Structure 1
Amino acid sequence: MLNVEAIRKDFPMLNGKKMQGHDLIYIDNAATTFKPQCVIDAVTHYYTDLSVNCHRGDYELSYQVDTEYENCRKAVAKFINADAREIVFTSGASASLNLVAYGWGRKYMKEGDVILSCEAEHASNILPWMKCAEETKSVIEYIELDEEGRLTVENFKKAMHEGVKVVAIAQVTNVLGFEVPMKEICKIAHEHGAIVIMDAAQSIPHMPVDVREIDCDFLAFSGHKMCGPTGIGVLYGKFDLLQMTDPFMLGGGNNARFDLCGNILLKDAPYKFESGTPAIEAVLGLNAAIDYLSAIGMEEIHAYEKMLHEYAIDKLSKLDNIILYNKHADGGIITFNVKDIFAQDSATYFNTQGIAVRAGQHCAKLLLHRLGTGATIRASFYFYNTIEEVDRFIEVCRSATIENCLNVFF
C-alpha cells in the first residue's frame, strides 16, 4: 500500500489547512485535485527562469521552452501509450471533446446518422454531440443502463447498429463511478464502422489507461483532475483521424502558409489544432504531474482508492440515514444522500464540519430520473486521502440529522 503520510507532505493544501475551524478533509477530487509542490515548482520555474513564448523564437530561451513543451507531449504519449504526434494540447477535457464534435462530427456526420451515448454522460461529452446532431440532422440514441446504472457490453450490443457512426461515452462515469468495458465496446463499434470518443476525465487520473490496447479513436482528459494545473487538457486521436479533423480555431502557429487569395495550408497534427500562445506554464506543470503520478504507480493508486471506497461503503451501509446510489463503484466515487434532506443542505452541514463534498447534479442531468432524485452528494477520494479521514466522514454522516443540517442556517 501507499505511504500516504509521506505523500501528503508533498501537497501544501494538506499541511495544516483549516475549514470552518476544522482540519480540512477534501473529498471533492472528482471535481479537481490538489497540486503537489513539484507541480507548483514547475509552473513557477516557467515564470521565473523561462517566461518566453514557445514555437516562436530563434534564441536560446525560446529553444529551452520549445524543448520542455515538447517533452511534455512525449510524456503524455508515453503515459497513455500513444505517439507524440497524436497528442493535442487544449484548455481541458471539455475543449477536447468539443473539438472532436466540431472538427470531425460537423464535417462527416449527415442526416440520419446516429450518435450513440448513454444517460450517465457528463455534459461535456453529450452537449457537443447534441449541437452536432442539430446542425447535421443526425440523431442521438442512448444505450440502456442496467439496474445499477452501469453500461454493460450486452446492452451496448443491443443498441449498436449499422447506422451508428459515433460512440461517445466515458470510461468512468463521473456520478456513479462505474468503469465501462471500453476495449470490448471499441471492438464492437469498429466492426460496425463507427468511431469511439472516450471521455477519460475520471479514469486517466486514477488508473492505467492504454489507448493502443483499448483501441479508442479519440480520448480526452484534463490536467487539473490529475494533480496538474488548471487550463490544460489533452486530446488524443489516432493520427489519420486527426489529419481528417478540422481545427476549432485558426491563427498563429497552426498554419504553414496562407496568401491573399485565401489559400490556407495547415500544419499536420497536432500543431494544426494549437493556434496562438498556449498555456505554457500549465503544460510544464502537467509534465511534472505525470512524472509524480508515474513514480507512485497508477496500479497502486487505483487499488488504494478502491480500498477506501469499499471501507467507506461498508460503514455507510450500516447507517439508517444514508441513501447510497453506487455501492459497487469501481473507484473512489461515493454518491449518496441523507434521508429527507436536500443535497445542498447536507453538503452545507458537511462544510461546517470541515469536509468538502460536491452536491447537485454533477453536470449529468440526464441521469436524474434514473436516480429518482433531483440532486445527490458526491464524495470522491484520491490517493492522498486517509482511513482516518474516511472515519471522520462517516462520523459526520452519522450526525447528519435534519436538526443538525438545518441548524447551520440559523
Structure 2
Amino acid sequence: MKKAFSWSLILLLIVGMLSACSGSKNANGDGDKAIKLTVWAPEYSEQTMKVYKEIIAAFNEENKGKIEAKIEFIPRANKYAYEDKISTAASSNSLPDLLMMDGPNVSNYADAGIIQPIDDVVDDKSAFVDSVITQGTFDGKLYTLAPTESTVALFYNKKMLEEAGIHPPTKLEDAWTWNEFYEAARKLTNKEKGIYGVNWTLDYGEWIIYFSGPFVWSNGGDFISADTKKAKINEPEAVEALTFLQKFTKEGLVNLQPTPDEFETGKAAMMLMGSWEWNKLKDYPETEWGITYYPRSPKGKVVSPSGDWCFGISASTKHKKEAGKLLNFILNKENVLKVAKSENKPAARHDSFEEMKEWNEFPLSVLKDQVLHTAHPRPRTTSYPILSQKYGEAVQNIFLGADVKEQLDKVAKAYEEDIARKK
C-alpha cells in the first residue's frame, strides 16, 4: 500500500507541475490563450473603417489562438478630441497597444514617452517613401510608419484658365514662380461676377501651417532651428513668404469667407488644396479641372507639404513583439493598397503606389511627383502643438491685414518660451 500511495503521489505532483507550466505559458501568451491587442484610430469614412476592420479580421484569422486584435475608432467631435483621449489615457496608463496619430505629433508623443521606437520590429523601412520615414523619426530612432501620404497642389478650372489664355505647367521643372502664380490669380479674379482668382481654406486648425509652410521653406526659411531650441519663423525669409501671401487677401484675390464648394462651383478659378480634393470633384462632373505644381519662390525650388496619420506602438504595451507583428501586417503591400484606395490617397509604400496606375497619368501624376520628389514634413519638435496653434492664429491675423513681422515675432516668442520650459 505504501508503494502504491507513493506512486500516486508522484503522479499527482507531475500532473500539477505540467498544469503549472501550462498556466505559465498562457500568461505569457505562448499557450492556448490568445494575447489581446487593442488598436486606436480616429474615425474615418465608412469605407475606410470597413477596410481596417477587414484587415484586423484577416490578422486574427491568420494568428488564431495566438493573437487577437481589436480596433476602436475614436470620434473626433472637435479637432482635438482624439488627441485629448490619448493624453488622458497616457496619464491613467490605459493606452492601447497600437495607436494612430497625426504626423506632427510624433516628436511630442515620443518625447513624452507615449510611444516607443519600432526599428527592432519593422520588417522593411526601405519600402516606404522618404517623407514617411522622416516624419516618423525622432532623435535618430523610428517611432511610426504610415499607410498613406498626402500633399497639396494647385487645382485649377480648365475652362477659366483657357479663356484667360493661361497655360499652367505640366512639368515639375516648369512650376510657376510666386510672381507667375500671383499674376494668374490677379488675371482670373472677376469681382463683378464674384469670382476669385484662388481659394485656400481659412481656419485655426492644422491646415494653416500645412498649406503655407511650403512658401516659407521654398524661400529658404524655416520654422525652427535644427536643434529645435530657437524659432526661425520671424526671420526675413519667412516674413517675406507671409508678406507675399498677404498680398492675395489685401487685393481681394482670395475670399476671406469662402463657401465650402467655392472652387467646385466655379466661384474660384484655382484652389490650393490637398490630394484628397480630386475625389470630392467627382461629385461635380460639370467642372473640368486640372492640377499643377505648388508655386515656388524665385529663390528656391518647389516644396510641397507632406504628412499623414501614422501608426506607433505605445510605450506601455506588454506585447511589443506581437504589436509589431500586427503593425507589419497592417502595413504590408496589399493592405496599404486597400487603405490608400479607400481614401483615394497616395500609398506610402513604393510597391503599393506603383499598383495605383491612375496616379501615373495626368493630372494625378502631379500629386505623385510631389509625394516622391518635393515632400517636406511639418516641423518636428516637442513643442509642435504650441507652434501650430500660435502660427495659425498669426496667419489668420496677417490675412486680415495685421503687421507680418509683429505677428511672427509673437509666434517665435511663444514657441521659445514653451521649448525652454520643456527643456
Decide: shared fold, TM above 0.5.
Answer: no
TM-score, normalised on structure 2? 0.26
Higher helix share: 2
The structure with higher relative contact order (CA 8 Å, sep 6+) is 2
